[in-house]
Amino acid sequence: MRSRQRMFAAVMRLLLKCLRLGRRRRFKLVRQVEQLWHYGHLCLRSLLYNSFTNGDVVLDSLFEPIYWLVDHVTRWFGVVFVALVIGLTSSIVAIVYICLLPLILQTYTPAWICWHLTYGHWNLIMIVFHYYMAITTSPGHPPQAKNDLTGVSICRKCIAPKPARTHHCSICNRCVLKMDHHCPWLNNCVGHYNHRYFFSFCLFMTMGCIYCSISGWEMFRDAYAAIERMKLLEKERLQVAANQTYYQTPPPTFSFRQRAFHKSVVYLWVLCSSVALALGALTLWHAALITRGETSIERHINRKERQRLQKKGKVFRNPYSYGSWDNWKVFLGVDVPRHWLTRVLLPSPHLPHGTGLSWDLPPCVMEQRAPLLAI
């Protein structure tokens, strides 16, 4: 009898312990849920009731996962985009040398041959040089030591000094001097030290594509008509083969070399025309920005500042603009007239004006402007 009582008491004690453990775990889970609820509620209140919060901050917070995904995809696929640019450009050059150049040497006059050889190779050299310099030249980064700079803001992501016209690149995870944008086709940021290389590459690539499209228009029409004839003859050949008798002969077929030649010409013209339209629009956009003396990021900043001052009855003037002509001279680094040849029409690795940390008046600008506060 006592043994049964002891066994019953032991079972009851074990049952009570299990109930206590279950209750503790349940209370712990409830406590964690309450903590998460209070944390989310606090985040929501800080987002909605902060005096510094506006519509831009709310949208940035909502789109933060998308920004994170785009930044990481762009970072990892930058090498793929560079390889794609090199591969497509190399294929066009190969088609020109293998297919078009022998035809030009056989059919064109000596004057036209000299023109095509001179302009084509000059344009190719300018494209290769500026693209190589754009992807290998660092855009420039501000120093990390706080004692090196005075009177600048602090980047809220780097927690480091940020000079005027400097912005943080979320893909490179660094501040960039005079940042324009991050270009995936360069796998590099476009900033103070490689902005000229980027624009020159876009300009000469557009010129090269327009040159190939105009020069190859007649060849494209002939090649496209030949491909249509190929399709028609191939269809007739299959019909004849299906109903062939002993006295019927199938129509002649094009050789592999002829097919490859015509398809290569069509590929060259379509690709060059498409790139000329897309890249030409981008080049015109950046040319307008350079004329106004601003970058892609500064355009949005200046527009908001212009609207803010306009409401107060004031006029906004870009402190980094020296006039349309002088803006181009500063951007291209043209100090004397001969630089238009040695620094613009020929490959030149010269550095831009200034260090990107301060923006003094360049020597090529004749007019002295009244000093303005940096934006």
Q: Which helix (H) or strand (E) holds 53?
A: none
Single-letter amino acid, residue 81: F
The pair of three-digit structure tokens given for residue 115, joined into one six-digit string = 């023109």
Nearest by Cα to 218 from 267, 265, 272: 265
Q: Answer left, alpha or beta for residue 187, where phi above 0 means left and psi between -120 and 50 means alpha.
A: left
Which residue do the tokens 């803006």 mark? 327
- Which is the catalytic residue, given 175, 183, 209, 272? 183
- CA distances in angstroms from 148 to 23, 97, 374, listed in the order given: 60, 53, 19
| Integer Cα distance of 356 and 193 in angstroms | 8
> Beta-strand (E) ranges in the chain?
153-154, 161-162, 167-169, 174-176, 181-183, 188-190
User: What does residue 171 show for φ and ψ, rounded to 5 degrees?
Assistant: -80, -45
Task: Find the angle CA(300)-CA(304)-CA(305) to the nearest 5 degrees.
Answer: 115
C-alpha Rg value of the chain to the nearest Å: 33
Give catalytic status of residue 183 as yes or no: yes
Pairing of strands 167-169, 188-190: unpaired
Q: What's the 3-state SS for 249-304?
A: CCCCCCCHHHHHHHHHHHHHHHHHHHHHHHHHHHHHHHHHHHHHCCCHHHHHHHHH
The set of catalytic residues is 183
